[in-house]
Amino acid sequence: MKIKFWGVRGSIPSPGPNTVRYGGNTTCIEVRTDNNELIILDAGTGLYPLSQTLMSELPLRVNLLLTHTHWDHIQGLPFFAPNFIPGNLLRLHGPFDPVTGNGVEQAMTVQLQHSFFPVNESEVRARVEYVNLSPNEQVKIGSALVTPYQLNHPVIDFGYRIESNGKSIFFTGDHEPHFNIHQPDHPAFKDYQHSVDRMYQSVLEAVRGVDVLIADSSYTDKEYVEKKGWGHGTQSSSIRLAHEASAKVLFCTHHEPSRSDDALEAAFQQTLAEQSAFTGSTDIRLAREGEYFEF
């Protein structure tokens, strides 16, 4: 399988001289199976440069998996050039939200209104199909088996496990490890902790044994104290998850947009030192825009 990162920043695009090494685009990852089937993970602003490279492969059959519909994960959709070319197929997969009753089609419909974008949805010339997914409901995409898992974020959010020809990837999207909302002296603390432990175990089993884990690693441990409940993980939490799940390679991604490349590398090196007990068996890397990885 092959992976290429087209966007690795979180929350908002952050272009400029301080982010040029790791890139300023938001989340978008290209995955190719050994049969060259194209799967795209999330549609952040990195989807635009990816779309330009795909113009030489027409007609296209694209399967795009949305983890959730926050802006930094869907903002590239209106700029996906193949959408406007007849003969192409975009199959957009994502979670159905039982609270709002909205399916994944909302990600396209909301943005392609004249109030927000100059081109209307009716002007899309490719065939677009919407696939609403439920947690743990497997879907077959060519040779790949894709399983969505509901993770922890302030909206319905899926992580995806992709398996093909004996190889596997897990992408968390945006995910904050579950935590106990009660203080230890609260009467509900013990029961709630059992729920937290069960939820962590379910995530661990979803990730178990993957070749590549791509994980939300937005914050340092110090930053997380002030941002608990915002729905994002830390470099430390990703390293520990990779270790406990026996993942072979970990890519830390969703880099904090205000963090310069120099600061990102410094924070990463400090985390590696602090988490040295959990780093021995996993190849741990910072995701970098433009990086290509094959396994």
Domain that holds residue 26: 2-294
CATH number of the domain enclosing 113 = 3.60.15.10
Count H helices, E strands: the chain?
7, 14
Burial (CB count within 10 angstroms: exposed 0-12, middle 13-18, buried 19+), residue 18: middle
> pLDDT tens track of the chain, all 295 residues?
999 999 999 999 999 999 999 999 999 999 999 999 999 999 999 999 999 999 999 999 999 999 999 999 999 999 999 999 999 999 999 999 888 888 999 999 999 998 999 998 889 999 999 999 999 999 999 999 999 999 999 999 999 999 999 999 999 999 999 999 999 999 999 999 999 999 999 999 999 999 999 999 999 999 999 999 999 999 999 999 999 999 999 999 999 999 999 999 999 999 999 999 999 889 999 999 999 999 9
ω before 59 within 30° of 0 (cis)?
A: yes
pLDDT at site 97: 86
pLDDT at site 104: 94
Provide the domain count of the chain.
1
